[in-house]
Structure 1
């Protein structure tokens, strides 16, 4: 049976935008493992429910079902030890776990800048669900959440400063070469890039340069994802 990765998609099945799914997609490429991408949408709960999950990513590997991006990364590292390591040892795994938690918080920091743009990219069958659940969590309409976002950008950029400081001395979070820590942090930036025309980074930002390097990895896999053109 072919290895399959269930990934969240917009109305365009090529617009794969979950930050968590991008972590797994990059991890599979790092491990040099082929996989079939299965676009999934919020309304298709029964599809992944059959694999014991309510959320993506879901990896089906030789009839073994694994969900949650961190659990999948650990599974890949254990199951394919002969392939390039995602962590580079136990110390790297522990550090990646910390960065994984920090990146999860970063997703919440980025969401108020792009959440209404995400809604515009969704399949019609997902839009009501997305609006209802996100507005409940944020306490206001999506359009109000993103209002005045230009004035709030400096706050986000200050939040990202530890990442910028790290990239002053090394090209990747993993050091000379990328590892799973890079894929974890890259996920939210790719999420924003493929769903919104609103640019979070200045062109001269070290994080912007790092993101460009990440986009070029694996024969430009992430760069080939469709983006939203600015109006």
Structure 2
């Protein structure tokens, strides 16, 4: 049975940019499960699967509807234990929670400051209005004020990525000898900027850049199939 996968897009449907949705796309491909991508814009998310979630990704697997990228990964792991593991065991799942926390609290903040205006500009007009209102209320400043921190965020990025760089000097993947969900968590953040701002955040010679290029090529080039912003 084909899994229905609801993901976020802007005005250009060829660039589904949500970092959280990319975690789910890569997870489904990792498990080798057939899935149908259904694209939704910000203002239509409340209509997905009867309003089950305020955010996407959301999947429908038969009668089961699951929201949240980590919950989806855990569901796929539990229901398809015969397929390649996303966590490599219970300990790996617990450690992926730490990677998720670091990514959400540290890395996403840097990505937001770098790409926020690009994300806004990539949306259709109705979604731009929603995005501006909701984000400015959340951050207590205008999008333009946030964007003023772009140069500073780019300058600080090498230090921000230092834990990841140090790890990837010692092993090919965050997951060790092969990619796991932890890799997809961090990949989603860098893919977010690639698809909205079109910025090359790290050189290919950098361990992080090399890892990201290899992530783009995973699962028959799933990540690379979405063209970078120009």
Asked whether the 8 Å contact 1:51–1:65 carries over to 2, the reply is no
Q: 8 Å contact 2:8–2:39 — kept in the other structure?
A: yes
What do residues 143-181 of structure 1 show as CA deviations (whole Å, max 9, x unaligned)? 232225234323222111000000001110011110111
List gaps (5 residues or longer) in structure 2: none
Q: Which residue of 2 aligns with 1:211?
A: 212
Question: Match of 2:65, SS?
Answer: strand
Matching residue of 2:90: 90
1:49 CA displacement: 5.5
Q: TM-score, normalised by structure 2?
A: 0.94
Distance 1:136 1:40 in 2: 23
- Kindly tell me the number of residue pairs found equivalent between the two proteins: 229
For the structure 1 residues 53 and 204, does the alpha-carbon distance in structure 2 shift closer, same or farther, using more than 3 Å as the test?
A: same
| Partner-residue secondary structure (3-state), 1:197 | coil
Structure 1 stretches (4+) deviating beyond 6 angstroms?
Answer: none
Residue 145 (structure 1) aligns with? 146
The offset of 1:48, in angstroms, is 1.7
- Tell me what 1:16 maps to: 16
What is the alpha-carbon distance in structure 2 between the residues aligned to residue 199 and residue 26 of structure 1? 21
Displacement of 1:227: 1.6
C-alpha distance in 2, partners of 1:194/1:53? 24
Q: What is aligned with 1:197?
A: 198
8 Å contact from structure 1 (residues 110, 156) kept in 2: no
Matched with 1:68 is: 68
> Aligned to 1:43, what secondary structure does the other structure show?
helix
Q: Residues 135 and 51 (structure 1 numbering): CA distance in 2 closer, same or farther, change over 3 Å?
A: closer
State how far apart, in whole Å, the 1-side matches of 2:207 and 2:195 are.
Answer: 20
Map of 1:99 onto structure 2 = 99
Partner of 2:6: 6
Give the TM-score of the pair, scaled to structure 1. Answer: 0.94
- Give the 3-state SS of the residue equivalent to 1:5 in structure 2: strand
Distance in 1 (alpha carbons) for counterparts of 2:14 and 2:51: 23
Task: Confirm or deny: 8 A CA contact 1:197 1:228 kept in the other structure.
Answer: yes
Structure 1: 5+ residue runs without aligned partners? none
Coordinate RMSD, CA, aligned: 1.5
> Cα gap change, 1:82/1:127 in structure 2, threshold over 3 Å: closer, same or farther?
same
Query: 2:53 maps to which residue?
Result: 53
In the aligned structure 1, how far is the partner of 2:222 from the partner of 2:89? 26
Partners of 2:124 and 2:63 in 1: CA distance: 29
